[in-house]
Structure 1
Amino acid sequence: MSQVSEERLVDVGGLTLNVQEFGDAEQPALVLIMGLGMQMISWPDPLCAGLAERGYRVIRFDNRDSGLSQKFEHQRAPGPLKLLISRKLGLSVKVPYQLRDMASDVVNLLDVLQIGAAHVVGASMGGMIGQLVAALYPERVTSLTSIMSTSGARQLPQPRAEVLKVLMTPAARSEEDYLRNAMRTWSLIGSPAYPPNDEALRARLLAGYRRSYCPGGTARQLAAIAACGSRVNELKRIIAPTLVIHGRDDALVPVEGGEDTARHIPGARLEVIDGMGHDLPEPLLSDFVEMIAGHAGAAVAN
């Protein structure tokens, strides 16, 4: 069993982030960046422990505006409809912060933890952030793994219509409303070949809601994604060995997003998983550990 630290709040460049570590602090660092509106606990404990057992200092944290990290509640984000129209028309829109700011958060966290360079692993929006860390701070990234993410290129397929409709649902006003909406969302975007047990999924969703429910933070993060636009030019600058993992049945970020990401990063390797949607299904966790740890190890060996 790997060592697990207590969660703690750390100041990173004037911003407070909630952080937890697995494994030996003397081992190579591996940073996990979660996606839109998700908390660090969405990185399953068995995945974190498995990577630690493979010889890594695994660091997971709540992004700004999620979990127990600092919220930006004094700032409002444009509504999703305005963001969608602006993106389609190629118009700029004022947002509370950018994905580049979230990439800086990661680098500032490494500074505070006195880590020179780390293996960076990001899921969904976390993959976008990881891409920017690798592109803008190449000396800080030993390897990059981008999971169920995208290049942001405008011509790529968008989420399925029924998924967009659910994402446009107003913020829940009660725990009951939240649970109903969240269960519906995961039924649409989860892995069709690896459906979770409803009771286990419900318990996981409620744990997240009771830990921290911040729909305003999710809206601000969504605005940061929309304002970022295409990262194709940044992807072409990445020199870190890169692994791209994507589900073939992803209804939120279609597989073309992963393919386009790998296409633009020099030397990137693409792993498409049949039956996987936009989640980290329990039956695949050991496979993720092997892919991520194997990629990180090969990056150092080469």
Structure 2
Amino acid sequence: MKDLHTNTPLVTRTQGTGKDLVFIHGWGMNSGAFTSFIPYLSADFRITTIDLPGFGENAAHVPTPYTVANLSEMVAPLMPPQSIVVGWSLGGLVAQKLAAQRPNLLAGLVTIASTPRFVAGPCWPGIAADLLNMFKQQLEKNFSKTLERFLAIQAMGSDTAKQDIKAIREQITEFPSPSEEALKEGLHILSCEDLRSELKRIIVPTLRLYGRLDSLVPTSGIDRICELHPQADTVVLPHASHAPFISHPQQTADILYSFATNVYKQEAS
């Protein structure tokens, strides 16, 4: 069962039955990235996917300014009450913002290959600022080539890199192309957004899932994130890169299932 909801400014999609999981995608992507992964969980949970403003079916909705705060404010009304939000990469920034600003809205938070600050800085491992600047320059010339390069970096190190890239590319092209403004401003968010000081405000149960081979969210930064958010559970998939739900769907689904089932069990008791 899949429903398309258009009675709100932003489109969402829902399938499956049970307690609610809400998935938010990363930069340059859309909800299509989760197409092949959803069946691993939809027998046990009701899955809602939301295209971020400016992307996919919500490409026409681009807030000004394009900030994580504004994105989370636009997404918040679409969240089913007491759902677990699962944010991948850039979507993880939006999910963390939601959890920090609206704790009563959520039952739990999951970040996949995400961090409170993507760009590297003093004593903070992350993406080199030069790399993000290169993407910004390339984006102005050719979005398709820029996205291909970004996909290649996301899958780098995975044993199934070529298949992973092919799968994501095929799935996201089923959806409308993103807004150029959202692409540009999304890169600005990755370059500048810093939620580290807000992690102490996240009180909902949290799972942080990483790929050991991820070059965009390096494992060398995990200890720093744990220091800022010690109550979060941390799982590192040893053979995964930036998209573990594509390269290791069953393993990722099992981890999410265990976390979500435990969260909802504690909520009911």
Q: Tell me, what secondary structure is at the counterpart of 1:119?
A: strand
- Cα displacement string for residues 106-155 of structure 1 (whole angstroms, at most 9, x for unaligned residues): 22112xxxx32111110111111111111111111111111111122843
Q: Tell me, what secondary structure is at the counterpart of 2:49?
A: strand
2: distance between equivalents of 1:209 and 1:166? 24
Residue number in structure 1 paired with 2:75: 106
On the 8 A contact 1:71/1:217 being kept in 2, the answer is no
Residue number in structure 1 paired with 2:16: 23
On the 8 A contact 2:200/2:229 being kept in 1, the answer is yes
Give the residue type in structure 2 aligned to 1:4.
Answer: K
Residue number in structure 1 paired with 2:127: 159
The offset of 1:162, in angstroms, is 8.1
1: distance between equivalents of 2:28 and 2:237? 24
Residue number in structure 1 paired with 2:239: 275
**Aligned pair partner of 1:144 in 103, 109, 119:** 109
The offset of 1:158, in angstroms, is 3.0
1: distance between equivalents of 2:24 and 2:234? 19
RMSD, matched Cα: 2.7
On the 8 A contact 1:179/1:206 being kept in 2, the answer is no
Q: Is 1:47 aligned with 2:37? A: yes
Listed as ranges, the matches of 1:90-105 within 5 Å are: 96-105=65-74
Greater Rg over alpha carbons, structure: 1
Q: Tell me, what secondary structure is at the counterpart of 1:168?
A: helix
The offset of 1:166, in angstroms, is 5.1
On the 8 A contact 1:182/1:205 being kept in 2, the answer is no
Give the residue type in structure 2 aligned to 1:23.
Answer: G
Residue number in structure 2 paired with 1:192: 157
The offset of 1:42, in angstroms, is 1.1
Gap change, CA 1:179 and 1:225, over 3 Å in 2 = closer
The offset of 1:9, in angstroms, is 2.7
Residue number in structure 2 paired with 1:171: 139
1: distance between equivalents of 2:200 and 2:20? 25
On the 8 A contact 2:138/2:146 being kept in 1, the answer is no
**Aligned pair partner of 1:61 in 36, 50, 54:** 50
Gap change, CA 1:166 and 1:188, over 3 Å in 2 = farther
Listed as ranges, the matches of 1:1-302 within 5 Å are: 3-5=1-3, 7-11=4-8, 16-24=9-17, 27-43=18-34, 45-53=35-43, 55-71=44-60, 96-110=65-79, 115-152=80-117, 154-155=121-122, 156-160=124-128, 163-164=131-132, 167-171=135-139, 178-197=143-162, 201-202=165-166, 204-205=168-169, 208-209=172-173, 211-229=176-194, 231-280=195-244, 282-302=246-266
2: distance between equivalents of 1:61 and 1:130? 12
Gap change, CA 1:104 and 1:126, over 3 Å in 2 = same
Gaps of 5+ in 1: 76-95
- Give identity over the alignment, percent: 22
- Cα displacement string for residues 71-104 of structure 1 (whole angstroms, at most 9, x for unaligned residues): 35696xxxxxxxxxxxxxxxxxxxx232111112
The TM-score with structure 1 as length reference comes to: 0.76
Give the residue type in structure 2 aligned to 1:301.
Answer: K
1: distance between equivalents of 2:77 and 2:19? 17
